[in-house]
């Protein structure tokens, strides 16, 4: 194999790391902003429900990723 064969994987890994860092920064920003939010800031309850659903979904995805790493590769039929 040539040295160039490994290059796309290196670029892909760097891209994943970059996105993970942006996710961490964004999550910290959300946490900081939610710290000061009160119920009266939400005129529409649906907006709060949308935020909650999105955070719950993100937490589920992360737990799935962590679970799959802990258990090793799984083959689905």
Q: Tell me: pLDDT of 75 over 50.
A: no
Q: Where are the alpha helices (DSSP H) in the chain?
A: 7-35, 45-71
Read off the pTM: 0.62
Residue 58's nearest CA partner among 35, 12, 26, 34 is 26
Rounded-to-integer distance, Cα 48 and Cα 58, Å: 15
Phi-psi region of 37 (alpha: psi -120 to 50; beta: other; left: phi over 0): beta
pLDDT at 27 over 90: yes
Find where tokens 């990723």 sit.
65
**pLDDT band (50, 70, 90) for residue 77:** very low
> What's the token pair of residue 56?
């719950």
């Amino acid at each position: 194999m040539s040295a160039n064969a490994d290059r796309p994987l290196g670029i892909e890994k760097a891209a994943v790391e970059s996105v993970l860092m942006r996710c961490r920064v964004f999550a910290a920003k959300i946490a900081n902003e939610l710290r000061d939010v009160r119920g009266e800031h939400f005129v529409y309850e649906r907006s709060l429900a949308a935020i909650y659903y999105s955070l719950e979904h993100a937490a589920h995805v992360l737990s799935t990723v962590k679970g799959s790493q802990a258990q090793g590769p799984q083959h689905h039929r």
